[in-house]
A and B are shown apart, each in its own frame.
Chain A
Amino acid sequence: MAGSIKSLFNRKYSEFSAVKEVSFSIAEGELIGFIGPNGAGKTTTLKMLSGLLYPTRGQVMVDGFTPFDRKNEFLKKISLVMGQKNQLWWDLPPMESFLLNKEIYQVSDTLFQKNLNELTELMEIKDVLHTQVRNLSLGERMKCELVAQLLHSPRILFLDEPTIGLDVLMQKKLRDFIREYNKRYKATIILTSHYMDDVKELCKRVIVIDHGMLLFDGQLNVIIKKYSRYKLLTLTFNEAPVPLEALKNHGSILYHEGTRVHLEVEREKSNEAASYILKNYAVADLNIEEPPIEEVIRSLFSEKKRQTHGAS
């Protein structure tokens, strides 16, 4: 309470750099994964690229434009989709928002109709166009959101967690759509996501940032091989007790409960371990997964930290 009263008159502020020392260039038509843990600075970077935020230092050029000049010619070429935010009008059908965007982006009637038909077919949302947005499911809303953002045929897309909160089937459909859009229109796409599957299926190249700093820029298979030394095996045995001691020979037991065991196995030995366990024990179910992206980034970051400290 005393602290609260004190803060009435004297409040302390501290400065925080959301993004620093981030430099990269992207060629036309590339589909890049832009990944990092929460608070890494991904969205801030996308917002600088789309001209929403002014960088305090450095230079940003997108297709020859300085984004924060916010020239209409630039804004007509780009699109920013934020998975956690909805810009369709809540009480009206998506079609109304599409028509409004048509006027805003000055899309001709012919082009609008062509794009609308193509996009709604790709996304399979023809039958919900005249349903109020408030009555749509999250997946349908997300698809309509994407259509609204693509009606003006942007060639540069910033997708900020577009699959967040969607079920597995919807995520796959959205990924297929993004891949198709990239292929068909040679659109440059920067995608941020916490789902490793989004990045693995869509992006050959990834840029990794953490705490506002660029950690890695290169091929995805390199980062996975180099920084993700382990795979996760989730085993469900037919009956208890589970052979914990035997399993320790193959990897580290992260945790176990009842007949379920989570085992961390070295990447190179994961197939061998899985095959051995299946052969020698009564396993009802086995799942091999990549570690969560945060683990990969953590490994990457730990490695970078070790390198920095080692150098100093």
Chain B
Amino acid sequence: MGLLNIISLHFQQVFHHRLRSLVWFFIPLLNNLVLILFWSGALKNTIADPNWTIYTATTYYFLLTIANAMLSSHIEEDVANYDIQQGELVRYLIRPFPYYWIKFIEEIPYRILQGSYGIILLIFFSLFFGTYIRITANPLILFFSFIIAVFAFFITFTIKMNLGLSAFWFKDSRGFFELVTITLIIFSGGVVPLYLLPQAVQIISYILPFSYTAFFPIIAVQGKLQIFQLFQVIAMQLVWLGILIGLNRVLWKKGIKKFTAIGQ
């Protein structure tokens, strides 16, 4: 019950900044809508691929908008600058709750609100241009897609948390954060779906954790994966989650000693 109250309080804070939240949503939306527009003209001059039609492209970018809104996390600057560099971490340390989970709970309302905008938009768009949206209707696949989406968020969140924790050792890592963000965009299918890329690049993408943060949740919802492939995706996500959380524990243990030794 206490946890629900905490989440509820953060929701209230998010509602207070509703206009800001809407603008944050418009940013990936605009990017993705323009990409749909690009493909509407480019597809006729593109090497034909049955997986990539105007319908799949439209669905892909709409789902990408929802994924950008709901499954991404931007806490690295918050963790690095406000909490570690400026010492706000102190107020988290005195709470009987692990820092990782407090930040997670703080993040949830933003993601839900942003994701809601995306889902409402998708429903609205479907009412008028329903033929352009191709999503699976199989409840089992949808269920596993949901699991994949949840793990996707955990992966992004943990990656960004680990990035933020680098502030225990490096005073200013913004450049590095941006490079990771760029890499994440490319290898998570944020520009084009990974199956359009050359084979070698695809293999690299499927090994890295980034493809499991947006690309696989999207194509799962599109119904492009068989059940066994969904299990494969979940398995890879769990492997990466294990690695990332393990890394998080190590970074935290070593970093917090440094933080409390030096002081604010």
Contact = CB atoms under 8 A, between A and B. Distances in A.
Interface of A: 1, 4-5, 7-8
Contacts, number: 12
12 contacts: A1-B8, A1-B11, A1-B12, A4-B11, A4-B12, A4-B15, A4-B16, A5-B15, A7-B15, A7-B16, A8-B15, A8-B18
A1 B10 CA distance: 10
Given A1-B11, A4-B15, 8 more contacts: A1-B8, A1-B12, A4-B12, A4-B16, A7-B15, A7-B16, A8-B15, A8-B18
B17 to A, nearest CB: 11
Interface in B109-166: none
Contacts of B15: 4-5, 7-8
A42 B85 CA distance: 36
Contacts of B16: 4, 7
Contacts of A4: 11-12, 15-16
A1 B18 CA distance: 14
B14 to A, nearest CB: 8
Interface string B1-39: 000000010011001101000000000000000000000
Contacts of B12: 1, 4
A103 B11 CA distance: 49
B177 to A, nearest CB: 22
Contacts of A7: 15-16
A5 B8 CA distance: 11
A5 B12 CA distance: 8
Contacts of A1: 8, 11-12
Nearest to A9: B18
A7 B11 CA distance: 12
Residue with the greatest number of chain A CB neighbours at <10 A, chosen from B8, B15, B16: B15
Contacts of A8: 15, 18
Going nearest first, the 3 A-B pairs with the smallest beta carbon separation are A4-B12, A4-B15, A1-B8
Nearest to A5: B15
A4 B7 CA distance: 13
Nearest to B21: A8
B152 to A, nearest CB: 27
A11 to B, nearest CB: 9
A128 to B, nearest CB: 25
Nearest to B5: A1
Contacts of B11: 1, 4
A91 to B, nearest CB: 13
Contacts of A5: 15
B114 to A, nearest CB: 14
Nearest to A7: B15
Nearest to A3: B12
A7 B16 CA distance: 8
A1 B16 CA distance: 11
B23 to A, nearest CB: 15
A8 B16 CA distance: 7
A252 B15 CA distance: 50
Contacts of B18: 8
A5 to B, nearest CB: 6
Contacts of B8: 1
A8 B18 CA distance: 7
A96 B15 CA distance: 43
Nearest to B18: A8
B172 to A, nearest CB: 13
A201 to B, nearest CB: 38
A213 B143 CA distance: 65
A7 B17 CA distance: 10
A4 to B, nearest CB: 4
B147 to A, nearest CB: 28
A245 to B, nearest CB: 46
A43 B11 CA distance: 35
A4 B109 CA distance: 13
